[in-house]
Amino acid sequence: MTKYGSFPGSRPRRLRGTPVMRRMVAETRLHPADFILPAFVREGVGEPVPIAAMPGVVQHTRDSLKKAASEAVEAGVSGIMLFGVPEEGKKDALGTPGTDPDGILQVAIRDVRAEVGDDLLVMSDLCLDETTDHGHCGVLDEQGRVDNDATLERYAEMAQVQADAGAHVVGPSGMMDGQIGVVRDALDQIGRDDVAILAYTAKYSSAFYGPFREAVASSLKGDRKTYQQDPANVRESLRELALDLEEGADMVMVKPAGPYLDILARVADAVDVPVAAYQISGEYSMVEAAAEKGWVDRDRAILETLTGIKRAGARNILTYWAVEAARMVR
């Protein structure tokens, strides 16, 4: 056989020949500890409410949420990110349930901490969108625009009540300028320097949030393009990253994950803090819908998407498949 360059002496296929060989030389490995489970808890329901746009995901009752947290511990998952869905009549312009110690999110944090203690990191979404009657992530001014600085005052209160409820980690997700610094100061003021901040550093204005609107019973009017990032931009994310780190973020995150793997790789290369990525509702629903049609192998697609996210640089992945994926990779 004629020799072409290093062929036939060099044959990369030798390292792909058997499952054991492929496993041994794998450059990226998924582990249960990589995963964080996003979970929704809804006030005033007697049984879990299926989310039509996210097959297999529910709005939990308080009791079913505790069961889900215990299952996450058993599977070896690292954390659970909680989103509270208050009764519709309790929403208002200021998002009052978000700072009410007896609001559904704060109640859920206490429930989960009582159930699992420190065996699972209890993380809380720090944002107003689930609790405002207009559905925006902040309070509005007289012209109906999101008021950045007035919103920061609300975030400071939220951080303190979530910490008091027992959150190990708070996740400011509203993309307000200065939010990380304000939240850090608010926590430190009440002596909670032990509570970590997972910064939603690069949160893009994405079409893939669609199913999430149902999950949190969103009341959104309009869009969030004035505060979430433009999908066309890269350097803007790096600027947000620098600001979040300067303000005291302990961990940083890119959201969504799959459509923004280039951003994730740039962020991961730039920092020495843990980097997370959120595989959001639309990413989940696309795979589930295609699998239901028989167009993709569901389990393979799940693991391939998660592997791609980790390969791009994510230390941790928020995914609705967290418990299932953890069991798969064990």
The yes-or-no answer on residue 310 being catalytic is no
Spatial distance between the Cα atoms of 295 and 291, rounded to a whole number of angstroms: 6
Residue 22 in domain: no
The yes-or-no answer on residue 3 being catalytic is no
Residue 107 in domain: yes
- Domain count for the chain, please give it: 1
What angle (nearest 5°) sits at the alpha carbon of residue 254, between those of residues 152 and 95? Answer: 30
Given a cut of 80, whether residue 212 has pLDDT beyond it is no
pLDDT digits (tens, 9 = 90+) for 51-95: 999 999 999 999 999 999 999 999 999 999 999 999 988 999 999
Active-site residue (options: 66, 91, 255, 310): 255
Residue 11 in domain: no
Residue 23 in domain: no
Residue 10 in domain: no
Active-site residue (options: 203, 225, 293, 310): 203
Residue 14 in domain: no
| Residue stretches of the annotated binding site for Mg(2+) | 240
Two tokens, residue 11: 């044959």
Supply the CATH number for residue 220's domain.
Answer: 3.20.20.70
Q: Which of 259, 265, 263, 245 is nearest to 310 (CA)?
A: 265
Range of the domain at 179: 28-329
Residue 9 in domain: no
pLDDT band for position 4 (50/70/90)? low
pTM of the model: 0.94
